[in-house]
Structure 1
């Protein structure tokens, strides 16, 4: 089935959704050519449409459906942070006391609980440093291979995306090539149809001119003829037909008169017999 060259679209103003004002595009972009004057006229129409349009580039998303509201403000961890941002308060500094080995203050040097807290902090710092050493050893032992595997995965994903992009470009080129061939063939068909239409119009004009000339000539000839009454039966055909229908029982009349009224001459009989023979043949 041959696909139409025009894009499928609903009539202007009848489409639903956020593309309710889409236009039907039925131009042959690869065939239709614009002269400089036509291009200037099109540019003026575009400028006028943009000037009168109520849509602006800043609100091109106004007709799209609103995004899904994730409602982050309902999370307890973020609620206080949202309140701080709304109030315009500065962000509190990060507490780095857990990363320092500070001894108890001077006024608590004799407090056992203060020294116990300092020792626990030192144990935590030591454990943290031990974890850092383990992570460094793991990184030195397996980091290179892990990064190589990660890079290999990224390379495979990149090749897959490059292949998909190449396939998409090939599909676009194939569609454009098919459109160009179809529009070129359509242009040839349209040109042939236009040529036939022009030829038919020219022939119709010639026929119309010839008919007008014949009508004028017939009118002139009719105006030049004298006005004469039409004879009722100049050749006696009606009388001959009646005679044939009656089997020759009576002689036909000439010009609606009886045979005896015009005389019994041989001329009337001869004409009547000739007409009867003509009708018989």
Structure 2
């Protein structure tokens, strides 16, 4: 039996107190499926059990009821065909000589009956070709509607088969549940001989564990779907950010790379500031002795 999955690391520090020497089980037996290793182990146990069994495959068939008699018993044609298939003989090929338009052989070129036979064969072939043309014209005229009706009939047939399949699956599920109940009853009956008052508590504990694990499985499925949605959203956001970064890089490439424009702007701003602030001290002022 496969060992339960165990966490090798502890989420919040080392285990202390009552958690010391305890194993954290990361498994939901009632929810999780079998791993390939566990399935291989189960198949190996089944094969060992089958090898140790005294029954042969034919013994299982002998326990089944006999097959009903066929309705075609006594049919000479079917019995002959079944004998041919049992002997492994090939099926006789279809004779296509009657579809040829061969003239009479050279030895009977002057025979009136031979020419009459060849002429009758030609008339039959001509009529057959005429019938083929009629069938093609009818197919071109009424074929689409006929195929449409045929497809509708096939769809209805498929629907009936699906309903029958669903009914059979339901019967199989019901039978499996009944077998599980019988197995549980037999197991409880066998274990009751060596079981004490703790058996009802064990059954109650197993039921509680099953309910809790199913609830945890539903919650885990919901969280997994939410996680996948967030991952998809993050991928969309990352793609949008990369697009914006590409646009910003393209805009930066479009700007002038030399500083000529910036220097010219700085000189123009300095000239405007000088005009607004006036001329410097000592420039344009009259001399002190020349004021009179």
> Normalised by the size of structure 2, how large is the TM-score?
0.38
Higher relative helix content: 2
The TM-score, its normalising length taken from structure 1, stands at 0.40
Structure number, greater radius of gyration: 1
